[in-house]
Amino acid sequence: MIHTISKIRVRYAETDRMDIVYHSNYLVWFETARILMLDQIGLPYKLIEKNGLFIPVLEARASYLSPARFDDRLDIHLYMRQKPRVRFYLEYEVKRSKELLVKGSTAHGFIDKNGKGVRPPNQFIEQINAAWNENA
């Protein structure tokens, strides 16, 4: 399993007049966790794009259990529980201290500059394998 924790402090711009975080912002935070995960396995997303590949979001889901609010310090947990094949799947938990606020998931694949789906590059598979923690 891969497990990454990205830290977020809720911005005023991310709240709405219900005095909670507007729900679409969680998808943006899920992405900060993906970017950090790629950093941590040693293959920054910026480098992937420099190599002419992109990792679009194919599916996204979120279940909103309890609202985050302005100025909250949040942990965005990312979990990769299955090794990537053509597609790969990520799960997320947004927590304020111990409290679980939002659960989510995304599905991804690689595409090239023409938008054509391609297999994940070997380097990605290898770095995931190297980072994989059987016990986590």
Element (H, E) at 90: strand 87-96
CB of 136 to a copy of itself, least distance (A): 25
Instruction: Say what the alpha-carbon torsion angle 37, 43, 47, 52 is, to the nearest 10 degrees.
Output: -100
Residue 8 one-letter amino acid: I
Select 29 or 79, whichever has its Cβ closest to a copy of itself.
Answer: 29
129: tokens are 């394998």
| Structure tokens that stand for 93 in this block | 């938990």
Shortest Å, Cβ 2 to a copy of itself: 19
Which residues of this protein are in contact with a copy of itself, per CB under 8 A? 9, 11-13, 15-20, 22-25, 27-28, 31-32, 35, 44-46, 54, 56-64, 67, 69-71, 115
Give the nearest distance from C-beta 26 to a copy of itself in angstroms: 8
| End-to-end Cα, the chain, rounded Å | 6
Closest to a copy of itself by CB, 98 vs 113, is: 113
Q: Catalytic: 16? A: yes
> Catalytic site residues?
16
